Homo-oligomer: A and B are copies of this chain.
């Protein structure tokens, strides 16, 4: 596991923000709330949480075109749908009635694991945002039902490598991203074996071990929240 760390309040204008670091990977996470709820929710007594994910042009080894000047990338769309879904899975959206939280995850440097780092940092930015909303009296209790952490893993020659760098990722056989609550429940799993089948001996052991590997991440998240008095 690479060193994971979080710097809170990396943005003075957002309601909640942090920079999340995993090795050379760096993601700027910033969340804010507004009272514009998406149209498809207007008849339901619920609020909403959505996420956007993008990479700066120089975030990767070779510069890629700015997302704004071309059509939106399928990969970014897939990832931002994942982030939003996971965050909503640990929140009581009825507490957020009348509000929408928008989380932006902008990748400054990408050395593998950007989507899980975005979830790990994004959760902290979200929790801080909820705290600000409670302080302002906009909501009377926190919508958080659980804390959230995420881990990427690749399988190479039948063995899992947890939290791989880009180099380790690109030479692997299969690729698995897992998202857990801090209480150890799985809320999302995405396993893909483009180079061949996903070879895992015991799925239950693998999932248990994966959760254990997130302990330093959870500790970092808890410390970051504690610094904010949460």
Seen from chain A, the residues whose Cβ lies within 8 Å of a Cβ on chain B are 11-14, 17, 24, 28, 30, 32, 34, 52, 54, 56-63, 66-69, 71-72, 74-75, 77-78, 80-81, 85, 88-89, 102, 104, 106, 108-109, 181, 185-199, 202-204, 207
Tell me the complex Cα distance, A75–B81, Å.
Answer: 8
Contact, CB under 8 Å: A60 / B24: no
Contact, CB under 8 Å: A190 / B189: yes
* 27 examples of A-B residue contacts, CB within 8 angstroms: A11-B59, A11-B108, A11-B109, A13-B62, A13-B63, A13-B109, A14-B63, A17-B58, A30-B57, A54-B66, A54-B68, A63-B102, A66-B104, A68-B72, A77-B78, A89-B195, A89-B196, A89-B197, A181-B197, A186-B193, A186-B197, A188-B198, A189-B190, A189-B191, A203-B203, A203-B204, A204-B204
**Known interface pairs A52-B57, A188-B192; 6 further A-B residue pairs with C-beta atoms within 8 A, sorted by A's residue number:** A12-B24, A14-B58, A68-B68, A69-B71, A78-B78, A185-B197
Determine chain A's interface SS by DSSP, over half rule: mixed
**What chain B residues lie within 8 Å of A61 (beta carbons)?**
13
Contact, CB under 8 Å: B194 / A186: no
Tell me the complex Cα distance, A196–B186, Å.
Answer: 9
Tell me the complex Cα distance, A63–B10, Å.
Answer: 15
Closest to A207 in B: B203
Contact, CB under 8 Å: A190 / B187: no
Contact, CB under 8 Å: A187 / B193: yes
Closest to A195 in B: B89
Contact, CB under 8 Å: A32 / B58: yes
**What chain B residues lie within 8 Å of A181 (beta carbons)?**
197
**What chain B residues lie within 8 Å of A108 (beta carbons)?**
11, 28
Closest to A183 in B: B197
Scoring A17, A75, A109 by chain B CB atoms within 10 A of each residue's CB, the highest score goes to A109
